[in-house]
């Protein structure tokens, strides 16, 4: 098992380079669902957190209300992969939505973007705009060279 510091730093670098990740939730009937999301991760040297700008009016809200967990797996054509299994909660406060909006708007490309490009997201307080707050409980980072050539190492971290 690797340290959180080593694994989180490698995870953020890879995730922000790949940008888009299939995300899995579980519905109220315990059936898995996937969709592609665009998380923004922050590693402050002690804790890894993430946010996703998404609609609280979507089906995923019912899934998260039933089971407050999301798993993200990033993949790139060179077989770089990283996964975060997260506890998740909605932040629908005006302050939280504004902070999330600004975080995406001010982050460097390609992970940063102007949220107002999404139809219905005219401002952070638009009814269709919400923030999912992510707290990883398990991380896995595997450069493609580990799988393809046996070079380097996969990194793992678990909170439990």
Q: Report the range of poorest mean pLDDT among 71-80, 83-92, 93-102, 138-147.
A: 138-147
* Per-residue pLDDT, 153: 83
* Per-residue pLDDT, 59: 94
> Using one digit for the tens of pLDDT, what is the confidence trace for 16-60?
999 999 999 999 999 999 999 999 999 999 999 999 999 999 999
Residue 72 near residue 131 (C-beta atoms within 8 A): no
The residues pairing with 131 across neighbouring beta strands, listed in sequence order, are 53, 91
pTM recorded for the entire structure: 0.93
Give percent above pLDDT 90 in the chain.
90
In angstroms, rounded to a whole number, what is the distance separating the alpha carbons of residues 59 and 79?
Answer: 30
Residue 26 near residue 66 (C-beta atoms within 8 A): yes
Residue 84 near residue 159 (C-beta atoms within 8 A): no
pLDDT over threshold 80, residue 66: yes
Planar angle of CA 94, 96, 67, nearest 5 degrees: 110
Using 50, 70 and 90 to split pLDDT, how confident is the model at 1?
A: low
Helix then strand then coil, in percent of the chain rounded to 5, is: 30, 35, 35
Domains in the chain, CATH or no CATH each = 4-158 (2.30.110.10)
pLDDT over threshold 90, residue 154: no
pLDDT over threshold 70, residue 77: yes
Mean pLDDT on 95-99 = 98
> Using one digit for the tens of pLDDT, what is the confidence trace for 105-125?
999 999 999 999 999 999 999
User: Is pLDDT larger for residue 81 or for residue 154?
Assistant: 81
């Amino acid at each position: 098992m690797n340290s959180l510091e080593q694994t989180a730093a490698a995870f953020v670098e890879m995730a922000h380079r790949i940008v888009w990740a299939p995300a899995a939730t579980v519905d109220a009937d315990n059936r898995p669902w996937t969709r592609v999301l665009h998380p923004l991760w922050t590693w402050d040297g002690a804790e890894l957190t993430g946010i996703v700008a998404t609609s609280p009016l979507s089906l995923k809200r019912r899934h998260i209300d039933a089971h407050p967990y999301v798993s993200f797996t990033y993949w790139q054509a060179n077989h770089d992969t990283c996964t975060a299994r997260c506890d998740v909660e909605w932040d629908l406060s005006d302050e939280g939505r504004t902070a999330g909006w600004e975080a995406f708007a001010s982050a460097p490309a390609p992970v940063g973007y102007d949220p107002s490009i999404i139809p219905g997201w005219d401002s952070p307080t638009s009814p269709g705009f919400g923030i999912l707050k992510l707290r990883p409980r398990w991380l896995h980072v595997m450069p493609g060279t580990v799988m393809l050539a046996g070079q380097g190492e996969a990194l793992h971290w678990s909170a439990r």
